A and B are shown apart, each in its own frame.
Chain A
Amino acid sequence: MSTPVLQVDGLAVHLRGEGGLARILDDVALTVPRGGTLGVVGESGCGKSTLLRAILGILPRGAETPSGAILFEGRDILSDDGASARGRIGFVPQDPYLSLNPVFRAGDQILEIMRRHAPGSRRDHRDRLIELFRAVQLPDPEGALRKYPHQFSGGQRQRLLIAAALSCDPALVVADEPTTALDVTTQREILALLRALVADRGLSLLFVTHDFGVLAAICADVAVLYAGRVAEAGPTRAVLDAPRHPYTRMLLACHPDRATDLAGIPGTVPAATAQPQGCRFHPRCPIVQPGCAAQAPPMVALGAGRGVACPWHEVALA
């Protein structure tokens, strides 16, 4: 088996702030195989964005990574000499309206990135960008070079940003909810484009989302985060069809496609400065057992690539 493109191992991220020490991520492990698509899914405050920032090397001031490693093509990018490898990670941001400078031509903004990170002459860059515009199906790829961001629609801007993420020949593309700002019709087109890029170019994708429908449409594998820990991981189909962690089971029962009684989940996600001891879900868990508050549950392997961080995963919910 070849080395995975991205392997996160036992990663912890702490942030010291006014409210005390926030343990935002704790013992997070996940893997993006070469040509694979991994979805990271969770509700607000679960640490999705912090995970992305750690991978991209843009953690906020004051953040520490006391333990763990992020191996990108086998090199630890948290170490000083591995950090340079990050040039080969492409990033697709959440909001296509906020991510381009309105006073510069969109094409020039992408060419600037290429001049910094990609080899070749200006002429090569330009030719390559036109080829990329064609690949992301922008209408009139050559004319698009001369246009300003406002001359593109929301869906077209997201295509531009996908082209930008691909511009430096990345081994991994990291996408942060790239379709939440779009209409469902446009969302479907962008998801189809990303799927085609994964299939045709052998792209590896780490896709962060809170939308299980979007997850099902694009990711082969999934890691469900709760309060900074991986609650459950495995092939997307298997996890969505038969979730095992009490949190995943309750969360999926809230989905309008499934919900029988719109129950919700009692309580709220704990603040990062006040994480409960032991299993972080135990104060909200309907099948909580005496030992749950004592020790963080380890990942239990279920076979077929699945794992669940709950020793009581076979107990029925009340």
Chain B
Amino acid sequence: MPEILGATDLVVELGAGRGLLRRRAGVRAVDGVDISVAEGETFGIVGESGCGKTTLARALLGLQRESAGEIRLEGRAVSGLHPRAARRVRDAVQYVHQDPGAALDPWWRVGATLAEGLAIHGLTDRAEQRARIAETLAAVGLDAAMADRYPHELSGGQQRRIGLARILLLRPKVVILDEPTAGLDLSVQAAVLRLLRDLRTRFGLTYVFISHDLSVVRRVCDRVAVMYLGRVVEHGSAATLFAEPRHPYTRALIAAAPHLDGRESGPSLPGDPPSLRAVPPGCRFHPRCAAAAAGCAQRDPVLEEAGADHAVACLRWRDLDAA
């Protein structure tokens, strides 16, 4: 399938400012990321908190201005624009908030919130709004009467469904899902994942799926990128990545996920990721890496091909045993 959303050498600097006499340096939350999301797939982005997952999503969406690099949507370059213009050309990309309950106004009926989105995007006819809302609520498995409820009257699963309805109304092509199952109970999570799968087929959507839950990512994603400190350290098809992870960080991340059978495999990963204000020289992961060698502190690894549709940024991946 052709690429629908992509980025090359994307850099997002946060917190930089110009003082009276000197420039204040920011931190590079996203530092040279290449990604390419194919039409119709579910593309997973995983990593620990602070790795830049959400900043990357905000830049793709046009809410956060990129500092350097290129973003492409349906083959057109859409980067280098002011935030407002950037959002306008990226109408086809929509975002589902991590906590859909917090993203709803507690004083507004759900229907009013849904109608506002349509009005902002140019659909102002009341009757047409109502029809479209009823149709979309049905698509996410909710009753049309749900439009008259207030957010606090909804369960966690229903709030997720409203969050989805809200963006489906705008007929997006790419949907960025930020931790779509965080905080959900197992049975509700299963229902939400199934709904996402059905909606993707029905509306021909492409998903960017940001999550820290590797069991879920393995289950629903076609391809996955692993981020560490603002960089993509490994990417590939989900099947390959989980069966033969090459980067020591990916291995540690997969090993850390708890499993139903209680097995624990591979080494644990001690410590926390270092601060973006003090990025280690050479490979960013080397201070926590069990396989680090002398060269790792000097040379910054770049992504290299490790197989069909599989790339890894590690100086030593060839020396490490296959997992």
Contact = CB atoms under 8 A, between A and B. Distances in A.
Contacts of A44: 156, 185
A121 to B, nearest CB: 35
Contacts of A154: 272
A245 to B, nearest CB: 14
Contacts, number: 104
Contacts of A295: none
A264 B194 contact: yes
A43 B187 contact: yes
A251 B187 contact: yes
Contacts of B264: 188, 217
B197 A257 contact: no
B197 A212 contact: no
Interface in A15-56: 43-44
B19 interface: no
Given A44-B156, A183-B49, A183-B212, A252 B260 contact: yes
Interface residues of A, number: 39
Contacts of B157: 268
B262 A237 contact: yes
A74 to B, nearest CB: 32
A13 B256 CA distance: 37
B187 A257 contact: no
Given A189-B268, A213-B259, A259 B219 contact: yes
Contact of B260 (A185, A210, A240): A240
Interface in B213-233: 213-216, 218-219
A139 B61 CA distance: 40
A217 B262 contact: yes
Interface in A251-268: 251-252, 254-259, 261-265, 268
Contact of B190 (A183, A188, A212, A263): A263
B261 interface: yes
A155 B215 CA distance: 22
Contacts of B253: 184-185
Contacts of A287: none
A275 interface: no
A214 interface: yes
B187 A264 contact: yes
A44 B197 CA distance: 24
A216 interface: yes
Contact of B258 (A183, A216, A263, A265): A216
Interface of B: 48-49, 155-157, 185-191, 193-194, 197, 212-216, 218-219, 252-253, 255-262, 264, 268-270, 272
26 contacts: A43-B185, A43-B186, A154-B272, A183-B48, A184-B212, A184-B214, A184-B258, A185-B253, A188-B269, A191-B258, A212-B186, A212-B260, A213-B259, A216-B260, A216-B261, A216-B262, A217-B262, A240-B261, A240-B262, A251-B186, A254-B190, A256-B216, A256-B218, A257-B261, A263-B190, A264-B187
